[in-house]
Amino acid sequence: FRKRDCDPVTVEQVTQQLIEEGWLSDDRLAASRVRQLAGRGYGPSRIRNDLRQQNVEHLISDTMEEAFDSKLDWEAEATAVYEKKYAGKPIVGDWDARQRERGKRLRFMQYRGFAAEVSQKLVNEDDQGDRSTEDAE
């Protein structure tokens, strides 16, 4: 409203009225944003960063747990996101090609906000490594 040259007193009055009536609330914003981002497949780190950008970082610890009726299993969420993206495609090729693909997958999971340990575990499961030469013997 300030960008539209509205009267500052009127803007303040309307804002206060919205807060009093419960239409404007940091708690609601944070809870809604957590549910929205988790539903899109983002992990806890990405969600925390988003809440910081929304200037509601003081609500992070409460909101992350309260936004869901039950505890959210972030490892299961990470697995679902990883499987949707890579659909069980193994990491094959020579050492250099495998390392490039591993890095690509790890960066994707990091971008989505999942823990490095969980991402590493998922990538390791798909890395065929030197198994093809072991199977030939």
Rounded Cα distance, 6 and 109, in Å = 44
Rounded Cα distance, 70 and 135, in Å = 44
Average pLDDT over residues 29-47: 89
pLDDT given at position 70? 57
Average pLDDT over residues 92-108: 95
Rounded Cα distance, 137 and 135, in Å = 6
Average pLDDT over residues 34-40: 90
Give how far Cα 50 sits from Cα of 20, 33, 69, 80, Å: 26, 8, 21, 21
Task: Note the helical H segments in the chain.
Answer: 8-20, 26-39, 44-53, 60-66, 74-86, 95-112, 116-126, 131-136
End-to-end CA distance of the chain: 72
The answer to whether 128 touches 90, Cβ cutoff 8 Å, is yes
Rounded Cα distance, 40 and 29, in Å = 16
pLDDT given at position 136? 41
pLDDT at residue 81 above 50? Answer: yes
pTM, to two decimals: 0.72
For the chain, the structural domain boundaries read 2-66, 74-136
